[in-house]
Structure 1
Amino acid sequence: MADALKARALRLLSGREHSRAELARKLGSEGNRDELDALLDRLESLDLLSDARFAESYVRSRQTRMGNRRLRLELKQKGVPDHLIDAALEEATDSDDAVRAREVWEKKFGRQPVDAREWAKQARFLQGRGFAADVIHKILKDRDDEPA
């Protein structure tokens, strides 16, 4: 049983990084709790499993599409500790939320809303991507093409 558990864990880790909690959840039905904890400890000691590396990879792969709030929430749901989430967000984000939100908004909509209904639709989209309300208001209020 332990060999099958180890083989499955290595197969999962060969595809992509996993958090400890995520891997434990995927392997939970295949072995007893003590075997699973021992295997996860061994994988961590061999540096094959790392919550920090998982968090960095996760943020890097999604930072162009999502805001910090959503990235934080998703990492927390995957069992990554807060201090590792903070470090990953600080290290990996190459621009601030406002810049990323504007890029996401321009790719999706590209023009300012013409009425309240369209404004609400665009705001909901950005909110769903994890951008803060103040960033959303700034983007939907700013009109770079209008003269001062």
Structure 2
Amino acid sequence: MSDEKTSSDGRETPGRRRVRPEPTATQRALTLLTRREHSRKELARKLSARGVDAAEAEAAIERLAGEGWQDDARFAESLVRSRVSNGYGPMRIRAELATHGLDREAIAAALDTFEGDWSELARDQVLRRYGGSVAEDRTLQRKAADFLIRRGFDAACVRSASRLDFDD
């Protein structure tokens, strides 16, 4: 069997696939955005890693932001929801949002979308990880406090949750 194919006019042509044109910066950015939300900074970094010129990437991001495909506020809210569901505290989330190039106002607005109680979230994390025996064991209290600090909870949440002061 041969790799040759017959065209409509009867000539044989090589059986090669059509070569697709190189995707534009906008197409590449849109492909990334259809998978999940991205910040402007993250999108620019990923486009640059894929060989897109910085000016071309910025123009593509600007266009997609204008059309509503890319929105830093929506990205920040999505990241807050994701991190809260994974048990992270506000300090850790704030630091991660800052690495994405968001300003203080955008970060504060995104954290304000969390309607729960940070102390309750911290207590839930301690109960999941260490069970109810933390209240009696000082070593477990220290471990729980260290765990919550690494997770990004503030001192008041850590103090309350690591001692499991349900009377507070």
1:2 to partner: Cα distance: 8.1
Alignment partner, residue 48 of structure 1? 69
- 1:9 matched to 2:25? The reply is no
Give identity over the alignment, percent. 38
CA distance in 2, matches of 1:143, 1:132: 16
Alignment partner, residue 18 of structure 1? 38
State the SS of the aligned residue for 1:131. coil
1:3 to partner: Cα distance: 3.8
CA distance in 2, matches of 1:31, 1:6: 10
Larger Rg: 2
Count of residues in Structure 1 that have an aligned counterpart in Structure 2: 144
Q: How does 1:35-114 map to 2 (within 5 A)?
A: 35-64=56-85, 65-91=87-113, 93-111=114-132, 112=134, 114=136
1:133 to partner: Cα distance: 1.6
CA distance in 1, matches of 2:164, 2:125: 15
CA distance in 1, matches of 2:52, 2:59: 11
CA distance in 2, matches of 1:103, 1:116: 18
State the SS of the aligned residue for 1:23. helix
1:84 to partner: Cα distance: 1.1
> 1:2, 1:31 within 8 Å by CA — same for their partners in 2?
no
1:142 to partner: Cα distance: 3.5
Q: Extract unaligned runs of 5+ from structure 1.
A: none
Return structure 1 stretches of 4+ with deviation > 6 angstroms. none
- 1:124 matched to 2:140? The reply is no
The amino acid that maps onto 2:108 is D
As a proportion of its length, which structure holds more helix? Answer: 1
Cα 1:141–1:113 change in 2 (3 A) is closer
State the SS of the aligned residue for 1:28. helix
Bigger drift between 12-21 and 106-115 goes to 106-115
The amino acid that maps onto 1:74 is E
CA distance in 1, matches of 2:164, 2:47: 49
TM (norm. structure 2) is 0.77
